Structure 1
Amino acid sequence: MKVRERTEEQEFKILSAYAAKSRDAVRDREEDLCDFRTAFQRDRDRIIHSKSFRRLKHKTQVYIAPGDHYRMRMTHSLEVAQISRTIARGLMLNEDLTEAIAVGHDVGHTPFGHAGEYALRELIGHYNHNEQSLRVVEHLERGGQGLNLTAEVRDGILNHTGDNKPFTLEGNIVRRSDRIAYLCHDYDDGIRAGMIKPSDLPQNVCNVLGTNPSSMITVMVSDIITESEGRNEILMSGRVKAAMDEFREFMFKKIYHSAELEPDRKKSKYVVSKLFEYYMDNPGSLPQEFLEREERWGLQTIVIDYIAGLTDLYAIKQFEKLFIPATWGIPQL
């Protein structure tokens, strides 16, 4: 018996009846099975080894060009994966599936975080990072071939945010874990940046969740496991969910929509907008691999693909190269 087959057999023996089983996973294109890794393990590995995942280490979470200890999109994705695996293990669901969805859920994020996303949305009328994440893994990775991920992982990536929920419990875990992760680590970074203090939190949030990021995560994760045990749904108690919603409202007011960060948000949107305008007018300046896709997808789509894939610093460098005059040396007085 192959290692993969043994693992698949163990899933049916150990995991909950509600868990997604890797033996049942479906891909758009059939391929030979691995002797050692299950389908979901292979999906996780493909995402982690992808260029789009590596670029997340240089993409903004909240703070643009922050110090060493602030979160970026990659560290956010890893924290989502850790929280998701903890919940999945507590509920005897498929940890490998939750991890694969978690590490892939933000690979379509623009430079400068949501500021870049909003800029593209204003420019073309419709742009969502979760849809772009799906596009990245389906069509853009591997030189345009895509990663051929399982339907379960692709569904979880697409529906980690938005109106539609994933069709697996594992995908719904990631959807909850994403919010837990960004609220708690952005709160932690906000304290580090001097924008907020634990004493600023609403009293109900302090009473229910605490004021320490670690204890907050523990309370919410424990609540999800307790409320969802033995059920075909991922739930939170009314008390903890109300506190979490109040915490989220606080974070939007004090951090995400704060006047203090607005100048950088405006500058970021301006950079993205000017790059979009330039490449729409000068498509020949795009890399060849993008130009080769124009006939299939159209100019606007390939320009969006290119800009969405840029890291923060690379986008800034391109902007400087295209719009800032070169300095030829300062004369001695």
Structure 2
Amino acid sequence: MVPGSFRAPYAADPTRTRGREHPTAGDGVRGPRSAFQRDRDRIIHSIAFRRLAGKTQVFVAPDGDHYRVRLTHSLEVAQIGRTLARALQLDEDLTEALCLAHDIGHPPFGHSGEDALNAALAEHGGFDHNEHCLRTLMRLDSPYCDVPGLNLSWEVLEGLAKHNGPVTRPGWALAELDAAFPLRLGEHASLEAQVASLADDIAYDNHDIDDGLRGGFLHLDDLLTLPELADQWRDVERRHPCSNRQAQLRELVRTQIGLMVNDLIATTRARIATLKSVDEVRAAGAPLATFSPAMAEYERRLKQFMYQRLYFHPEQKATAARARDVVARLFAAYRADPALMGESWRATLPEAEPARGRHIADYIAGMTDRFAIQQFRRATGEQPDGLTNV
């Protein structure tokens, strides 16, 4: 047996998928891939996925080549997700598809752009990047001749909709999609989706430390105020006394990831050992993929530290305010003069609200940071300064 090829009874099974919103014939004509492998490949080949290369992760429009963007972050999440899925005998392809797609709904400039679009659509249902991920994959990115969207499997869509848990009050975007292709929003998602969500946490908790140190927003002495990190740093220095500081810091990040991954695997194995089906996972009434209580508490304090020292750093907040202004003014410019929009978007612009505003938001949300800056210059004649601080 190939290592990792065994699938546990509580794992999602591609041969028993609940199907696609639009059934299609001849799925096997392009090679011997499972339904979830085809989903992963559709995501990788999509325009929306490629655009992640130009979208903010931590730093807006970074000048440096070594900082993470949404694409590189998503690849790192997928690597961690596959490791977790293999160890827990889950479907690796479904896990990877969810990891790769999870950030596709982010507009330019990350959460700053999201805040601006949410404010612009305040009277028309708002904007949420998680729901926009589903909207993009099910409606907006349409490479096929006969169906809208990427026409992904039900399990991928439910995992993206519920990777943070059941959704009791969906926004307008998710409500519309759920009405067309019900995703059982009130239940917990598969273990693959739960693992993908935690792989995301592990990746950004630790890789953002790497980027924060590189950008000069974090300093080792500050990190060492966290006792667990201080213990790990002393161990790194003991194991690699002759290495340079940069190599030691990267070893610290790798060590952190390893500790979190191993803790998650051990804790989750104990919680799922007696499960007999994926339906039991969905009916459990609580997440089954979890950290231990001690690791969960440390991860909570690490996040709190990162918000205080990096995400809410005064320079970061100032840059975020400028990014929000760019997106807000772009929205206002397109509403006032739709001729400024791309030709195909202008031609399909609805006349009435709320569809009109949502259509403009769809157009902006698909932009990369670079394209948004370019379009802002075209629409306003101004150069938005101060949109990168690294």
Fold similarity call, TM over 0.5: yes
Q: Which amino acid aligns with 2:256?
A: M
Q: Residues 163 and 117 from structure 1, CA distance in 2 versus in 1: closer, same or farther, beyond 3 angstroms?
A: farther
Equivalent-residue separation in structure 2 for 1:209 and 1:107 (angstroms): 34
State the Cα distance separating 1:208 from its structure 2 match.
Answer: 7.1
Q: Which residue identity is paired with 2:54?
A: H
1:37 and 2:25 equivalent? no
Kindly tell me: are residues 64 and 295 of structure 1, through their superposed partners in 2, closer, same or farther at Cα, counting changes over 3 Å?
A: closer
Q: TM-score, normalised by structure 1?
A: 0.89
- The answer to whether the 8 Å contact 2:138/2:151 transfers is yes
Q: 1:241 to 1:207 in 2, by over 3 A?
A: farther
Displacement of 1:291: 3.7
Task: Return the alpha-carbon distance in structure 1 between the equivalents of residues 336 and 350 of structure 2.
Answer: 17
Tell me which of 236, 239, 264 is aligned to 1:224: 264
1:213 positional shift: 1.1
- 2:121 matched to which residue of 1? 124
CA distance in 2, matches of 1:76, 1:292: 34
In 1, Cα distance between equivalents of 2:358 and 2:71: 25
Aligned partner of 1:167 among 189, 197, 203: 189
The one-letter amino acid paired with 2:128 is N
How do 1:108-147 and structure 2 match up within 5 A?
Answer: 108-125=105-122, 126-142=126-142, 145-147=148-150
User: TM-score with structure 2 length normalisation?
Assistant: 0.77
1:176-215 equivalences in 2 (<5 Å): 176-201=198-223, 202-206=225-229, 212-215=252-255
**Which residue of structure 2 lines up, in the alignment, with residue 331 of structure 1?**
none
1:194-221 Cα deviation digits (max 9, x unpaired):
1112331233331576671111111111
Aligned: 1:319 with 2:376 = yes
> What displacement does 1:69 show?
0.5
SS, match of residue 58 in structure 2: coil
One-letter amino acid matched to 1:175 = S
Q: Is the 8 A contact 1:22 1:39 kept in 2?
A: yes
Contact kept? 2:56, 2:69, Cα under 8 Å = yes
Deviations 1:225-251 (A, max 9, x none): 001115052121111111111000000
User: Any idea what SS the aligned residue of 2:150 has?
Assistant: coil
Which protein has greater RCO, CA pairs closer than 8 Å, 6+ apart? 2
Q: 1:263 to 1:72 in 2, by over 3 A?
A: same
Question: Residues 70 and 189 of structure 1 are in contact (CA less than 8 Å); yes or no, is this contact kept in structure 2?
Answer: yes
Distance 1:209 1:38, change over 3 A: farther
| 2:297 corresponds to which of 204, 223, 242 | 242
Q: CA deviation at 1:287?
A: 2.3
Structure 1: runs of 5 or more not aligned: 1-6, 327-333
**Structure 1 equivalent of residue 153 of structure 2:** 150
Q: Call closer, same or farther: CA 1:325–1:269 in 2, change over 3 Å.
A: closer
Identity %: 39
Matches of 2:300 and 2:88 in 1, distance apart? Answer: 23
Per the alignment, residue 17 of structure 1 pairs with 9
Distance 1:190 1:157, change over 3 A: same
The structural deviation recorded for 1:156 is 1.7
Unaligned 5+ segments in structure 2 are 168-186, 234-248, 273-280, 282-287, 384-390
Task: Tell me the number of residue pairs that the alignment of Structure 1 and Structure 2 aligns.
Answer: 318
